[in-house]
Each structure stands twice: as C-alpha cells, then as structure tokens.
Amino acid sequence: MNRISLLFIIVLTLPGVLHAQDTLFKLKRTFTGDIVDFTVDNLGNCFTISTTGQIKKINNEGDSAGVFNDVRRYGKLFSIDVSNPLKVLLYYKNFGTIQILDRFLNVRSTIDLRRQNMLQVKTIGQSYDNNIWVFDELESKLKKVDDDGKVIDQSGDFRMIFDSMPSPQVIIDQEKSVYLYDSSKGVYVFDYYGAFKNRLPFTGWADFTVINKVMYGRKGEFLYRYEQGTLNLQQFAVTAGISTSKKIRITPSFLYALREGVIEVYAYGDTDPANKH
C-alpha cells in the first residue's frame, strides 16, 4: 500500500472530514425525446443518443446543430468523447474501431485498432495534443495513438507497476495529467507521457469527471468532490431526482441529469461544488 492510500484511509475515518451539505440546484431547462445516453462538451453543446444509436447535437440555446445517423456500421456505440468540441470521438468496442467526427458530425477518419495489433482496447479518451489515449488490456499499457492509429507514446507494462491490474472505464486528459478511473480500484493518475504518478482510493463512483484538477463522482444520494493536493474529500447531498438519474454530467456551470428520456439541466446555487474553492 502506498503512502497516499494510507493517508486517505486514515483521513476518511476521522469524524467531520466529509462535510455533507445541502446543495441548491435550480432547474433551468429540459431536453426531451428518444434519449438513452448523452454527453456535454465544454461549450455547452449536448450530444444525445437515441435507442437506434442516432446522435444529435443540441447547442446551448436548445437548437439542433447536427445529426449523425451512420451508427450501425461498427456495431453498438460504446462511448463518445467530446472533450474537444472540434473533434468528436466515437468508440465501437466490439469492432475495435474509432470514428473521428468534426464539429458538424461529419466523419473525418476511421481507425481500426485491430490492424494496429491492439486487440483488446477497454476504453479511449482525447489527449491534450489532439491525439487519442487508448488502454490496451492485452498488453496492459496506456498508449497514445495518432489519427491513423499509429502508436506515438506508451506507458510501461501495468503488470510491472501494480500488484492488481486496473481495468479503467474512463480516460480523462486534463491540466497536464491523465486520469484512469476504475470504479473497483480508484483513480490512477499519470503524466502526459504515460508515467504513473499516484493512485487515489475513490471507489464506487459513477459519472467520474475532472474539472480544473478537481475530481467529481456520484455515489448514492451524494456528490463527491476532491481537489488534488489536499486531504479533504467533500460530500454534497443532491436531490432524489438527481441521485436516481441514469447518468449525470457535471460542467463548471451546470449539472445535467438523464431521467427516462428527459435531460434536466440544473444551475448551481450558493454551494456550487464545481465552483467552490
């Protein structure tokens, strides 16, 4: 067990460290329709996914800004990454295929990872330098590939670094760090070159995200917030509607919650966890 893990185990057992608060959320707008999944970019554009796999882009005024219908060619869509609004990444895990779309949802290029001998890629994510991070489970490495699928950088073998292999569901590249989140093992933090920095034992979180080096996740009726470099894990109470949502997305200004074909957009009140410093 490393030192940071031990510190968190000690701190999280001390009374008063987790500060439950009443967080005020104000409903601002809703999006309704055939919606089973969604995500939001940093410009406030909402990307909805229908039961047929159709992707719609809705701008922050609620107007349609693009539609992508060619969604069955590579099987079921596994994930969508819109962290770069000008470069949308669609990942089809069963086919090991990444489609790269422009901001109008037109196909720019397609990457067949299997042709690059990456046969078991668990998840992908946009990199800061406009390339793509992939987690290659077969080789147990975090790799960076270009738009042709060519590996341009990679980490060491995870089996040589960790006692227990992580199996991340999320890759986020932000503010000079790369975050791999495994809900059963916690957050693994790397630098831009794929070198391991530390691990944080925050397990069981849904909807993990990072905003300005602050980590967020949802577990039960609480929203958690952790600012790196501190030992203060904050806990915020949310409404029953938000806690039972199928999915939430947190941005610096709003919280988006998906419930039965409806996306509810909430503005934060005075105890805004995304703006609290």
Question: Residue written as tokens 């794929």?
Answer: 194
Provide the 3-class DSSP secondary structure of residue 69: coil
Question: Is-contact 274 251, C-beta < 8 A?
Answer: yes
| Confidence (pLDDT) at 22 | 42
Question: Is-contact 31 262, C-beta < 8 A?
Answer: yes
83 or 240, higher pLDDT = 83
| Confidence (pLDDT) at 155 | 92
pLDDT tens for residues 208-233? 999 988 999 999 889 999 998 888 89
Name the least confident of 26-40, 176-190, 262-276: 262-276
| Confidence (pLDDT) at 20 | 36
Question: Residue written as tokens 């199996």?
Answer: 167
Residue 270 pLDDT greater than 80, yes or no = no
Please state, for a pLDDT cut of 70, what percent of the chain lies above it: 88
Question: Is-contact 19 249, C-beta < 8 A?
Answer: no
- Nearest by Cα to 33 from 8, 46, 50: 50
| Confidence (pLDDT) at 269 | 57
Apex 260 CA angle, 60 and 186, nearest 5: 80
- Nearest by Cα to 95 from 71, 74, 69: 74
Question: Is-contact 191 178, C-beta < 8 A?
Answer: yes
| Confidence (pLDDT) at 192 | 87
pTM beyond 0.85? yes
pLDDT tens for residues 72-92? 789 889 999 999 999 999 999
The mean pLDDT of 139-151, rounded to a whole number, is: 95
Cα–Cα distance, 218 to 199 (Å, whole number): 19
The mean pLDDT of 132-145, rounded to a whole number, is: 96
| Confidence (pLDDT) at 271 | 44
What is the overall mean pLDDT for the chain?
Answer: 87
176 or 7, higher pLDDT = 176
Cα–Cα distance, 213 to 203 (Å, whole number): 18
Residue 19 pLDDT greater than 50, yes or no = no
